[in-house]
Amino acid sequence: MEESQTYLREQVREVLRVVDTCLASIYAGETHMYRALAGQLRILLCDTQRRRDNSLLIQAYPKLEVSALASIAWSERDSGMVELRQPDGGEARVAEMPFEITQFANGLSIANLILAEGSLVAIDEWASQEVTYHPTILSAFDIIRTVADKGGGAHVDAKSSPELRYMMSKTPVGSTYAEMFILAVGRFIQALGERLFDYQGARVPEELYKQPMNKYSLVLAAHRQRAEALTNRCR
């Protein structure tokens, strides 16, 4: 391995240590640390300058393939835990975004990306996958860069874009979508880092999984034509 490649991979390891510290802090109740987490995710996945991709993870592992997100598929009947009641041939459609929130008994809320079983995507394409269609189409790249560049990860922008306004709105658990989206990507990257460097990172306390918890999905219902337009737009 070239010396430069060795150096880059050591830098990936160091950034992953920061990611792990951010997650441990969030699990301990310091939820504002999602902002610092967004900055590290930007370094790893979304560091573009003058149309050149300088993302650390992509530079260090250019041939890496990782789990793809579950596709956003429309149904006239049901999606996830949501059932759509309408006559046969009805015009409504429903889809579940590849994103789920879990709220534990002590109030801690975490989020996970829903992955496509057995489907891989190149690391330099991973962040371009869509996480949600509503109220605007957002990819993982959009989310990370918006929070890092405008929402406090590395900068704060007084001009509120539609993406930032949406992500700063509240989820059913009280946290913002920005916090939950970034946490979901952070947990995915932590799992990837554990495989690359053979370690175990910060974990939600095991006892919380033995207590009652609530789960929330991000679901969108739309007219058939709107659903088809969104699907075609995102291909």
- The owner of tokens 């406090």 is 152
Average pLDDT over residues 94-119: 96
pLDDT for 212 equals 97
Q: Reduced to 3 states, what is the DSSP secondary structure of residue 223?
A: strand
Cβ-proximal residues to 26 (8 Å cutoff; 6+ apart), any chain: 33, 34, 37, 110, 183
Confidence of residue 185 (pLDDT cuts 50, 70, 90): very high
Q: Identify the helix (H) or strand (E) that includes residue 175.
A: none
DSSP string, 71-119: P---BSSEETTEE----TT-SEEEEEEEEEEEEETTS-EEEEEPEEEEE
Q: If you compute the radius of gyration of the chain from its CA atoms, what whole number of angstroms results?
A: 18
pLDDT per residue as tens digits for the range 5-51 = 999 999 999 999 999 999 999 999 999 999 999 999 999 999 987 77
Burial of 71 (0-12, 13-18, 19+ CB in 10 A): middle
**Residue 183 clears pLDDT 80, i.e. is over it:** yes
Domains of the chain by residue range:
3-233
Q: How many CA atoms lie within 13 A of 45 on its CB side?
A: 31
Q: How many CA atoms lie within 13 A of 16 on its CB side?
A: 23
Q: CA separation (Å) from 63 to 3, 31, 44, 123, 214?
A: 18, 34, 15, 7, 38
Q: Reduced to 3 states, what is the DSSP secondary structure of residue 172?
A: coil
pLDDT for 3 equals 83
Compute the mean pLDDT over every residue in the chain, rounded to the nearest whole number.
90
pTM: 0.91
Q: CA separation (Å) from 184 to 10, 31, 156?
A: 24, 13, 22
pLDDT for 78 equals 85
CA 45 distance to own-chain centroid:
12
Distance CA 196, CA 235 (A): 30
pLDDT per residue as tens digits for the range 57-67 = 999 999 999 99
**Residues 55 and 47 sit within 8 Å (Cβ to Cβ):** yes
The pLDDT > 90 percentage for the chain reads 68
Average pLDDT over residues 124-144: 91
Average pLDDT over residues 175-185: 96
